[in-house]
Structures are given as C-alpha cells and as structure tokens.
Structure 1
C-alpha cells in the first residue's frame, strides 16, 4: 500500500495525484498530520509498532511499501494571546508563563507527531522526513551547490551596517531574504508576507549599527527565472518571465493576479541538470523544487531548493502532467517493493 502524508489544508497536487491513484484502483492511504493534533483520538503503539488513527484504523508498517511525504501539519497562525490574557486580569508575568507553557506544549506535540515517522522508517520515502520542509539549511545548500560547480549569488550573513554598506558598494544592487523560510507574520486580521526585497542605500542609512543577523545577496540581473522540479532523477523545468513586471521582478511570489507572468516549458542544458542531480544526491534528496535565474550574461544561477515545494504550477503551465507521472511512479515502486518482499519471504 502507498502511504500519503499530507494535511487538511488545500494542496491541489496531492489531491490530483490521489485522483490518479483512485482512477488506477491503486491501494493507498492518506494520513493527515492534523489528525494527530490535540482533541483527536490517536495512538502510537511503540511495542506493537502500529499507529491508530482518529477513526480507530490501525496502520502497520507491514501494510506499507512506500511513503510519499507531501505535507504534514497545515500552516497555523502563530498568535500572541498577550492582550487577551491582560483583558482577563492576568499579570505580565502570568501571561509570559502561559505563553512559555504553550511553547512547551508545541514542542511536545512536534515530538510525538514526528514519532509517527519512525514507525515507517524502513520504507521507501519520497522525500525523507528528515529532509522535508524546514529541515535543510539554506546556507549549507548554497555552499554545497558552489562546491558542485553551480554558480550562486554573492552571499553574506551579517549583523553589521558597515558590512552591508560595503557589500552594496561592491555589488551595486543587493537584496535580502529570510535565512529559514519565507513565512508570514500575522496580527489580528493583517498578514505580512516575507518576500525577497531590494536593499537601497537609503534603507541602509536607517539601519542601526548592529542588528539581528540577516542574509544579503547580490541582485542578479536576470533574463528570466526558472523553476525546476525533480522527481527521482527526472527533471522538469519552466521558464518564468517575472522580470517583465515591476511587481514580480524581485520576487515572483509577489504575484500579479491581474496580469500574470508568462510561463513556458524549458529544457536546462544537460550539464546543468547533472549538477543539480549531484547536489540532490549529496543532500540525500530524491525530489525537490529548485529556483534558478538565467542571468543577462548567459549564466544559470542557483538560488534555493524546497524538498516539498509546489510543482502544480510547473505541471499545469507546461502540460507536463506531473501528477499522473508521480502517481504511476508510486504504483511502480509499490509493486517493485511487493515483489522484493515476496522473494525475500
């Protein structure tokens, strides 16, 4: 059986792959990380090596041949309840204590939820949970890419205003973006997304002399951007002409819904594909979405990789039908694993 790990939040590529698996009458099971949140009746039985779901279904690793890790816990709003506690008469110290306890519960929840993965640790994983969302370091990936001969932007992490001034003087045009992930800040009804942003001389003038360590890169003059999706040594790329729109020029995720960017199928040179495959192999990844820039000098410049990044836009805009390809591959792997187990027994 194929085990699909996901969450309740809408993820169309997952749903589309499940549609294909259903069409082919494949044996699969979807398990959402949300089922293991509080107020749900679940159990991880370590002695008997089984997981019992909210609807009392027992899942044994003996039933599972392959695990496709797509998502796990849906995005949650990180809220501070400070004002609410104050309204209820809590003192500042009491409020901080409650929030500290809430953080402890979140850590406990993460520990037991991720414990589910160990039940299926001996199965084929795409990708491995240890390499999934938030579990690879952007700086480490850039260093490894550089070592593989892949061109990367000039990059520094610094807390010094002087260093940023010198970096801007050296490269003429620079950007900043999160070191971890481009998450959102939420406060009441407001949402502040974390996009890649240009850093101007006027911006730097307002910096304090020392600040929280931040990532800065040279701003690459691009001819176009490339989103490459890799699934088990198969490479699918798409060119995105984001530079033609001021709104998306620095970060294509700042979508212009009224006038979308142009997306077309694209074929990377074979040597560039080989470098990316070598990088994934070194990172112990068998899938991932990669962001690249084709600059105005004809260079392919690596930006970052997301092990469980969106591939639906690549599939739809380029007519690759990736959901069908992945569904067929999961079924093929599952059948191969079944035959291997039968021979071993």
Structure 2
C-alpha cells in the first residue's frame, strides 16, 4: 500500500495525484500531520509498529510499501495553546516561563512526530523524512553545488553593517533572503511573506552597526529564471520570464495575478542536468524543486533546492502532467515491492 503524508490545507498536486491513484484503483492511505496536533487523539504503538489516527484508522507498518512525503504540519500550526495567557498581565518572569514551556512542548511534539516516521523507517521514502522540509541547510547546499562545478552567486552571512557596505561596493547590487525558509508571518488577518529583497545603499545606511546574522548575495542580472523539478532521476524544467515585470523581477513568488509571467517548457543542457542529479545524490535526495537563473552572460546559476517544493506550476504550465507520472511511479514501486516481499516469503 502507498502511504501519502500531507496536511489538511490546500495542496492541489497532492489531491491530483490521489485522483490518479483512485483512477487506477491503487491501494493508498493519506495521513495528515494536522491529525497529530496537541488537541487531537494520538496513538503510536511501538511494539506492534502501528499508528492510530485521530479518526480511529489503524495503519500497520507491514501493509505499507512506499511513503510519499509531501507535507506534514504547516509552520503556523506548530503552536501550543496560550491564548488565554495573552489576556493576562504577565510579569517578565512569567512570560519567560510560558516561552520556555512552549519550547519544551514543541520539542516533545517534534519527537513523537519523528516517532511516527520511524514506524515506517524501513520503507522507500520519497523524499526521506530526514531530508524533507526544513532539514536542508541552504549554506551547505550552496557549498556542495560550488564543489560540483555549478556557478553560485557571491554569498556572505554577516551581522556587520560595515561588511554589508563592503559587499555592496564589491558587487554593485545585492539582495537578501532567509537563510532558512521563506515563511510568512500572520498578524491580525494580514500575511507578511519573506520575499527576496534588493538591498540599496540607503538601506545599508539605516542598518545598526550590528544586527541579527543575515544572508546577502550578489544580484544576478538574468535573462530568465528556471524552475526544475526532479523525480527519481527524471528532470523537468520550466523557464520563467520574471524579469519582464518589476513586481516579480527580484522574486518571482511576488506574483502578479493581473498580468502573470510567461512560463514555457525548457530543456537544460545535459551537463547541467548531470550536475543537478549529482547534487541530489550528494544530498541523499530522490526528488526536489530547484531554482536557477540563466544570467545575461549565458551562465546557469544555482540558487537553492527545496526537497518538497511546489511542482504544480511546472506541471500545468508545461503540460508535463507530473501528477500522473508520479502516481504511475508510486504504483510501479509499490507493485515491485510486493513482488519482492512475495519472493522473500
């Protein structure tokens, strides 16, 4: 049986793959991370290697052949329940106690969730949970890409205003973006996304002498951007002409819904695909979404990789039908594992 790990929130590629699995009458189960939040029923039976869901569904490890990790719990849902405390006048000591206890519960939650994953540790994972969302270090990936021979932007991490000023002077134009992930902050119904931003000389002048360590990169003058999705050594790429719109020129995720960017199928040179496949192999990944830039000098510049990044836009805009391809692959892998088990028994 195929086990799909996701969450309750909208993720159309997951839903479409499930539609294809249903169309082919494949055996599968979907397990949502939201079912294991602190206010839900949870049971992990270590001796019998089973997980019982919030709805009483029993999932036995022996019945699972393939695990497709798509999503789990949204970062904004990883919280404990201190709403009532906000209405009270807490002292600093009390607030620190609440913060410390909250961190403790987060660690407890992370540990038992990892225990759920361990129930299925002997199965084929796409990708492995140890490499899934949040567990890939952006700086490590850049270093590995450079070692493989890929071009990367000039990059520094610093807490010094002086160093940023020198970096800006040396590179002409620079940007900043998160070292970890580009999450959103929700406040009073508004969402503040962490987009990539250009850093001007005036911005630097306004910096304090020391600040929280931040990542800065040379701004790459691009002809277009490339989003590449890799699934088990198969490479699918799309060119995005984000530079034609001021709104999306720095970060294509700052979508212009009125006048969307142009997206077209794209074929990377074989040597560039080979570098990406080697990078995935070095990272112990069997899938991932990769961002590249084709710069004004004709170079392919690697930016970053997300093990569970969005691929729906690549599938739809390029008519790759990736959801059908992935569904068929999951079915083939599951059938292959079943035949192997029958031979062994």
TM-score, length-normalised on structure 1? 0.97
Change beyond 3 A, Cα 1:285–1:83: closer
Residue deviations 1:260-293 (CA, integer Å, cap 9, x gap): 0000000000000000000000000000000000
Give distance in 1, aligned partners of 2:189 and 2:133: 26
Residue deviations 1:243-275 (CA, integer Å, cap 9, x gap): 000000000000000000000000000000000
Contact 1:86 1:95 in 2 (8 A): no
Give distance in 2, aligned partners of 1:21 and 1:266: 28
In the alignment, structure 1 residue 193 sits paired with structure 2 residue 193? yes
Q: How far 1:48 moved relative to its partner?
A: 1.4
Contact 1:45 1:51 in 2 (8 A): yes
Change beyond 3 A, Cα 1:197–1:318: same
DSSP-derived class of the 1:76 partner = helix
Give distance in 2, aligned partners of 1:110 and 1:151: 36
DSSP-derived class of the 1:38 partner = coil
DSSP-derived class of the 1:343 partner = helix
Residue deviations 1:61-97 (CA, integer Å, cap 9, x gap): 1101100000011342578999963643433322332
Contact 1:49 1:61 in 2 (8 A): yes
In the alignment, structure 1 residue 311 sits paired with structure 2 residue 311? yes
How many equivalent residue pairs? Answer: 345
Match of 2:165 in 1: 165
Give distance in 1, aligned partners of 2:92 and 2:99: 11
Shifted more, 251-260 versus 99-108: the winner is 99-108
Change beyond 3 A, Cα 1:261–1:137: same
Give distance in 2, aligned partners of 1:82 and 1:95: 11
Residue deviations 1:180-228 (CA, integer Å, cap 9, x gap): 0001122222321111000111111111111111100000000000000
Trace 1:190-269 onto structure 2 (pairs within 5 A): 190-269=190-269
Match of 1:15 in 2: 15
Match of 1:107 in 2: 107
Q: How far 1:301 moved relative to its partner?
A: 0.2
Give distance in 2, aligned partners of 1:215 and 1:90: 35
Any gaps of 5 or more consecutive residues in structure 1? none
Calculate the aligned-residue CA RMSD, in Å.
1.6
TM-score, length-normalised on structure 2? 0.97
Q: How far 1:39 moved relative to its partner?
A: 2.5
Q: How far 1:326 moved relative to its partner?
A: 0.1
In the alignment, structure 1 residue 181 sits paired with structure 2 residue 181? yes
Give distance in 1, aligned partners of 2:81 and 2:121: 37
Give distance in 2, aligned partners of 1:182 and 1:238: 21
